[in-house]
Structure 1
Amino acid sequence: MHMKTTFRLRHTAALLAALLITATPVSSVTALADQYRGQRMVIVDTNGQLMREIPEAGSVRIVVDNRGRRLLLDNWDQVIGLEIPAWQYQGQSSIIEPGEGPMMDPYGFPEAPPPPRQQVSRDPFSEAPRARIERRDLNPTTGTVPTRPKIIEVPAAEEPAAPKQQAQPAVKTPMLTKAQVTALQVYLDRNGMSPGVIDGRMGSNVNKALDAWYEATGERIDPADTDLILARLAADGGLAFSTYTITAEDAAGPFVASIPADYAEKAKLERMSYTSTLEMLAERFHMDEAYLKELNPEADFSLPGVQIKVVATGREKSGKVARIVADKGKKQVRAYDAAGKLLAAYPATIGSTDTPSPSGEVTIERIAPNPGYTYNPKINFKQGNNDKILQVPPGPNGPVGSMWMALSKPTYGIHGTPEPSTIGKTQSYGCVRLTNWDAGELAAMVKPGVTVSFIE
């Protein structure tokens, strides 16, 4: 075995043993800081908590990812632990001494490093334009494992010159992991510049939120500036990921088996409730339902006491909105105070070609939380064979979601939706559609009489 590899394995084993000694309960953050002051490294699990059980010999592999971090992988190549300096211990910001550096990077989890064949692609944090990768085996008894690539510069003379007529490719920004994008989405969400559903993906709604942030602050945030996002998350509301324990009330519902598409069938239901605890919790934490499931693949969301990984959304934006702009072209709603300062921005679905939204200026006439919905084919739209007026009961899965802000133009309003992942990506029947949580936040900041300006 290579001398450096042997040292790493022995070093990490020693850390695991030391951790068992130092993992006794402490009464305060100060005591915890004192406990680790003389110890440089600790092992934490994927939730950022101290690993209190030493894995059995042969049950883990130690690898170095492409950012230089030592990871503990089980026999199924799942990350179960991470070696970090003690001062970076997640969630204990007061442990950081002045000048020691930033808190723990939250972006490496919950995602495990990709399999070896995918791992050896270019390091997204490397500035080397041309390189070949040399693998290093950290554990010959278990085969080649992912390591931090060793970058070997290739002299320009070894590569054929590109044809003169060939256009130079654009410089690409580093590809972000889902966890990195999630942190950016959480930061924007906490500050009232909604990215819509939090799903760990860069897209039009995130870019619109970044533009809104620039309008409000004059600052351009680089999505790849992880240090900046990390520091701001740590300073206000904590890191992007958190844990939540499902309660008996969560599991009890009430729920409905499914939501029919036909309005006549909708009208027969007692309530337009959620269809599952998963759907309910995804909306509570502003998350895409599929992403919440992806973060917790083994979780049974119907059982009280189950602990799940969620994103840590913050408090709702507050303030007094004096004017709202519904931007049809950008598919975004922006809310301004009396001084013209942008308070909040939300991705929106605003009308369609067949059923356009209003033009010019209207006002908010009334605000109705948890609204029912009246289907009138002569006024709204015609669905199938439904030719009668129908009363659809209230609920978050109702046609207008859990919030309705009626506009002075009859039958039009700003409202929620039962399908938050479609916001900004589909069309509506003329109204302004937001996610339920964004509609609720906006409604808390407006009063009847607030002007709504529709712009093209």
Structure 2
Amino acid sequence: MLKRLLFIALLSTAARAQDAGPAKDDPSVPKDRDTVLRIQIFLDRNLFGPGKIDGAIGEFTYKAVVNYNYAHGHRDLYNWAHAQEAAEREVPVPYAAYKIKADLLPFVNPHLPEEPEEQAKFPFMAYRSLAELIAERFHTDESFLGLINPKKNMNTLKPGDIVVVPNVRSFRIEEVKPMQSYKSDPALSSHTIVIDTTERMAAVYSEREMMLAAFPITPGKPQFIPVGQWEVKSIMNTPSFRYDKQFLEEGVRGDEAYQLPPGPNSPVGIIWCGLSKSGIGLHGTALPRTIGRSRSAGCVRFANWDAIRLPQLIRPGSRVIVR
């Protein structure tokens, strides 16, 4: 089974190689932004994360197309036509209009500091702006929001404003139940998640070895990556986080640390999946635009909009293969 599970690495390598140039001449690869956006939305809806949704053809969009094709039995793995045809049916309109609601204001704090010692004094690691909240809500970033809303100032958004957003199933911070834990499940606990730290992808497989989902990740620093086979021991929403600069940089606990409150801007985001390897987990992030870069001491980061879907795919008891 392990040999088959690692097939994602081969697919991803080929997809990344295409990103270097040759695939840009492939007639199956769309050229216009709205078509790419529609495909990204379709892939995201079907649990093949393309990274941030921005209408641009990048490494993780290539990988999402390849993994989608593999999971659905298409032999021509690098052909975008399968995803494009399905996207045209399922995502006829790539944009939506979103009216900002006042009940989102408690999740925004423009005064949240950057320094951990100051953050520890706050009750919640909120978004720093409505633009940041809306960008994460619709699986994109503030730059793309500004691009598709050229007449709006993203720095002055307020309740009642209407913003154009990608037509994606939104990540709703207000629906994340604080401190909710997830129990083992006969079906979900039988699933396996493969963390490929070289390709920066995580793929979930069923007990019958069918690929169910694949998401971009940020792996830990190479010297701290816990290569091997582990098990999910716990899953919990909105964890607090012990910030220890020495541990993050050197992998050894230091004398000075700060207990940071929960929230979407926590370094571990809005969910924590603890592994049988002590101190290591799969979790969200405060910086979704950095997904794909090595920034931590061994843990595996997902964008919050992907991380929140993990309990629907894996549970305590699930096997975790890190390579």
TM-score for both structures, normalised by structure 1: 0.56
* 1:269 and 2:122 are equivalent in the alignment: yes
The more displaced of 388-397 and 230-239 is: 230-239
Measured at CA, do residues 180 and 259 of structure 1 come closer, stay the same or move farther in structure 2, by a change above 3 Å? farther
- Name the CA distance, whole Å, in 2 between partners of 1:327 and 1:170: 23
* 1:428 and 2:282 are equivalent in the alignment: no
- Name the CA distance, whole Å, in 2 between partners of 1:294 and 1:323: 39
- Name the CA distance, whole Å, in 2 between partners of 1:229 and 1:412: 35
State the Cα distance separating 1:387 from its structure 2 match.
4.0
* Correspondence for 2:95: 241
Output the amino acid matched with 2:65: L
- Name the CA distance, whole Å, in 1 between partners of 2:313 and 2:123: 31
- Per-residue displacement from partner, 1:419-456 (whole Å, max 9, x unpaired)? 1111013432210110001111012322111110012x
* Correspondence for 1:331: 200
Measured at CA, do residues 347 and 418 of structure 1 come closer, stay the same or move farther in structure 2, by a change above 3 Å? same
Output the amino acid matched with 2:146: K
- Name the CA distance, whole Å, in 1 between partners of 2:266 and 2:78: 36
**Count of residue pairs brought into register by the alignment:** 278
- Name the CA distance, whole Å, in 1 between partners of 2:288 and 2:192: 24
User: Please, what is the CA RMSD of the aligned residues?
Assistant: 2.6
Q: Percent identity?
A: 33
Q: Which has the larger radius of gyration?
A: 1
State the Cα distance separating 1:305 from its structure 2 match.
2.5
Which blocks of at least 5 consecutive residues in structure 2 are unaligned? 1-21, 172-186
State the Cα distance separating 1:292 from its structure 2 match.
1.2
Output the amino acid matched with 2:219: I
Output the amino acid matched with 1:242: A
* 1:351 and 2:206 are equivalent in the alignment: no
* Correspondence for 1:70: none
- Name the CA distance, whole Å, in 2 between partners of 1:372 and 1:335: 26
TM-score for both structures, normalised by structure 2: 0.78
- Name the CA distance, whole Å, in 2 between partners of 1:256 and 1:198: 25
- Name the CA distance, whole Å, in 2 between partners of 1:387 and 1:335: 37
Relative contact order, higher structure (CA 8 A, sep 6+): 2
Measured at CA, do residues 315 and 335 of structure 1 come closer, stay the same or move farther in structure 2, by a change above 3 Å? farther
State the Cα distance separating 1:182 from its structure 2 match.
1.1
- Name the CA distance, whole Å, in 2 between partners of 1:170 and 1:256: 43
* Correspondence for 2:176: none
Return the structure number with greater helix share: 2
Q: Within 5 A, what are the aligned runs for 1:54-69?
A: none
* Correspondence for 1:389: 257
* Correspondence for 2:47: 192
Which blocks of at least 5 consecutive residues in structure 1 are unaligned? 1-168
Measured at CA, do residues 213 and 374 of structure 1 come closer, stay the same or move farther in structure 2, by a change above 3 Å? same
- Per-residue displacement from partner, 1:319-355 (whole Å, max 9, x unpaired)? 836101001111100001111111100001111134x
The more displaced of 177-186 and 399-408 is: 177-186
- Name the CA distance, whole Å, in 1 between partners of 2:23 and 2:78: 20
2:149 pairs with 284, 290, 296, which one? 296
- Per-residue displacement from partner, 1:340-371 (whole Å, max 9, x unpaired)? 111100001111134x2211101111011011
SS for the counterpart of 2:66 is helix
Measured at CA, do residues 218 and 170 of structure 1 come closer, stay the same or move farther in structure 2, by a change above 3 Å? closer
